[in-house]
Structure 1
């Protein structure tokens, strides 16, 4: 079964891939902040991580609904 809009599917894959890379980077930054005992930096990275996760989940749901 082919996707009725292959361009949209390709764009979704690219965005999900970018979100995955961003999540990896933010996770590493959060881990380093925690190891260094920087609560403020950890809080910032945790908020960013949550935001990217929410965006990725919404994008995934949007793609699943189509």
Structure 2
């Protein structure tokens, strides 16, 4: 094997290793973000369903008598 083919094979292998590493990193990032969003939405749904909303709710609209007469 001459030096040119050894360099070419090394170059191709290094590109493939880099591409595989990038793919694995992107896949792990996707899974971590997806898991975080899933747990956040589940916790939010439980919070809303349990009525833990601390904000005061407005009274329902009622027509009042007009006292300006």
Specify which structure has the higher proportion of helix: 1
TM-score range, shorter chain: 0.3 to 0.5
Could you state the TM-score of these two structures normalised by the residue count of structure 2? 0.45
Give the TM-score of the pair, scaled to structure 1. Answer: 0.46
